[in-house]
Amino acid sequence: MDELETQLRRRLTFAIISHPDSGKTTITEKLLLFGGAINIAGAVKGSKQSRSSVSDFMAIEKERGISISTSVMGFEYRGRKVNLLDTPGHADFSEDTYRGLSAVDSALLVIDSVKGVEERTRRLCEVCRMRHTPIATFMNKLDREGKDPMELMDETERELRIGVRPVTWPIGQGRNFKGVYNLVERKLHLFFPGEIQRPIDIVTINDLADPLLDEKVGPSLAHRLREEVALLSGVYPAFTVEEYLAGTATPVFFGSALNNFGVRELLDTLTDIAPHPTPKKGEERMVDPGEERFSGFIFKIHANMNPRHRDRVAFLRVCSGSFERNKTYFHVRSGKPFRTGNPTAFMAQDSEIISEAWPGDIVGIHDTGTFKIGDTITEGETLNFKGIPSFSPQIFRSILNADPLKEKQYHKGLNQLAEEGVVQIFSKPHHPNLRVLGVVGQLQLEVLQYRMEHEYTAKCVYKPIDFTIAHWITSEDQKALRDFLDDNSKRILVDIRGTHIFMSDSDWFFERVKGNNPKIRFYGTSEMVEDRDSAFMA
């Protein structure tokens, strides 16, 4: 087995996704804890800093207690190199989550057992289903009174349109939560509350009729477990790795992330069954991770990760071959050579310089403005990877500089945060000083103002505009496109890629314009200009 094949078999790259407040960031901390990356939840190993979330490293994240940007963390566990992406759960930052999902090979879905399946959960699973991304599911907060586990299973299968296959099953709930029974290994994992450390008490029970079960959890809960397991075997097929890898069924685990319960068993299973790096689709061809020649794409850009250094980092997903420090590569969009002397691996905002990286790895590249989200780097081949579009915003505002003395800082901050994907920025043809912001949710506007002031010492103000709906436009008939742009000049904006966008104020008006201009194609995402088969079409 050559070096590339060996490294491929070791890689595990997955994202954690959920509705806000389901415990996603908490379970991220506990995975890092069991993976040996941190000593105590919230503190990087060896760090003297006080406890706070490792993955929520931005000041505004710590203040708000929410994740607003995807964090990348890596650690070794049971012979596999794990690359973990903690994605924002809040709908206002969904584009960052979708971009993160383009860079992984599988996902871990966290569901709050008290609230069940929620709106963001449905949307995220739709994105995974479009990409055939395997999903494992963790039912969290079993130490609280919540929905009946059977009801949760039915709801998950019905709402997410995916087969559910229980791997562990809870014994009791809330104050009566005693642990879980592993249906595959036939082992009883007993629950002991404790956020930092948990005694390990695992009992092998091959036959649920064994009186040892009654002794460990009590006769009442033992009787209930026997009844539920018998019912499960008749309702749900046995779990198979093949179904999971195909994305048609999800293995389900129960536990309490806050109390460290069920997380180690989940991590053990993921390292056993989660896929190695998978092929990635390009516009030109499918790229296999086992190919010797390097290829990768930029899925995220983050400015000021370290406020003291004002650095800007591009996040690269390695798709094939090996990435080597100081080697010259080809930047496809610009057509120019590219070389990096200090590629890094991450633990949230902390990083270390690496000499090489392999398919599945996430590499940080110091960026002086060279890269944009979606850019491809290769050893010379012209490749463009799919699946990293900008989505049509729902809120639009014109933005103005509130301090004329900070004009330079204002434009620098606005441009860098737009390239990072915090907001979408549009300009008006022939009016270069007029900027229009497009965002998915109101919170993005607040984040932009906060970061402009705290990272660039610039202040901005917003003003409402009349338009509420945006569509990217193109046409095979260039004369028809020019005529359309001239006839609708007041409604035309241009994105940072130079692509035209048509703005409207109602669905009725848009449908009328669309019907009157059959030669113009309208799309709900920027990627649709190049990719008419995308599943994200409006």
Q: Is residue 462 part of a domain?
A: yes
Closest CA to 76 of 275, 325, 267: 267
* Residue corresponding to tokens 């406890």: 51
Provide the pLDDT confidence category of residue 344 given band limits of 50, 70 and 90.
confident
Closest CA to 251 of 154, 119, 163, 123: 163
Amino acid letter, 234: G
442 and 337 in one domain? no
90 and 76 in one domain? yes
Q: Which of the listed residues 222, 255, 277 is the one where a domain comes to its end?
A: 277
Closest CA to 94 of 137, 124, 128, 71: 124
> Around 405, how many Cα atoms within 13 Å sit in the side-chain half-sphere?
1
pTM of the model: 0.77
Provide the pLDDT confidence category of residue 220 given band limits of 50, 70 and 90.
very high
* Residue with the larger pLDDT of the pair 91 and 155: 155
Q: Check whether 304 has a pLDDT greater than 90.
A: no
Q: Is residue 93 part of a domain?
A: yes
What mean pLDDT do residues 431-455 have?
A: 83
Q: Which of the listed residues 248, 277, 306 is the one where a domain comes to its end?
A: 277
Q: How far apart are CA 59 and CA 98, in angstroms?
A: 23
What mean pLDDT do residues 503-510 have?
A: 92
Residue 35's domain comprises 3-173+237-277
Counted domains in the chain: 3
497 and 371 in one domain? no
369 and 458 in one domain? no
Closest CA to 251 of 234, 272, 276, 277: 272
What letter would DSSP give residue 293?
A: S
Q: What is the pLDDT of residues 4-44, one digit of tens each?
A: 999 999 999 999 888 878 888 888 888 888 877 654 433 33
349 and 312 in one domain? yes
User: 493 with 428: CB under 8 angstroms?
Assistant: yes
Give residue 90's pLDDT. Answer: 47
Token representation of residue 121: 């959960």
Q: Check whether 387 has a pLDDT greater than 70.
A: no
Helix, strand or coil, per DSSP, at residue 267: helix
Q: Check whether 431 has a pLDDT greater than 60.
A: yes
Provide the pLDDT confidence category of residue 350 given band limits of 50, 70 and 90.
low
Q: How far apart are CA 184 and CA 188, in angstroms?
A: 11
**Is residue 475 left, alpha or beta, with left meaning phi > 0 and alpha meaning psi from -120 to 50?**
beta
18 and 146 in one domain? yes
Give residue 63's pLDDT. Answer: 52
The torsion angles phi and psi of 517, rounded to 5 degrees, stand at -135, 70
Token representation of residue 496: 């940072």
CATH code of residue 165:
3.40.50.300
411 and 297 in one domain? no
Q: Is residue 188 part of a domain?
A: no
436 and 307 in one domain? no
Q: How far apart are CA 277 and CA 71, in angstroms?
A: 19
Beta strands in 90-218 (DSSP E): 106-112, 135-140, 163-166, 168-171, 179-182, 187-190, 202-204
294 and 257 in one domain? no
104 and 20 in one domain? yes
Q: What is the pLDDT of residues 450-499, one digit of tens each?
A: 888 988 899 999 998 888 889 999 999 999 999 999 999 999 999 877 88
Q: Check whether 400 has a pLDDT greater than 50.
A: yes
CATH code of residue 444:
3.30.70.3280
292 and 147 in one domain? no
- What is the distance of C-alpha 66 from the center of its chain? 14
Q: What is the pLDDT of residues 139-171, one digit of tens each?
A: 999 999 999 999 999 999 999 999 999 999 999
Provide the pLDDT confidence category of residue 193 given band limits of 50, 70 and 90.
low
Q: Is residue 212 part of a domain?
A: no
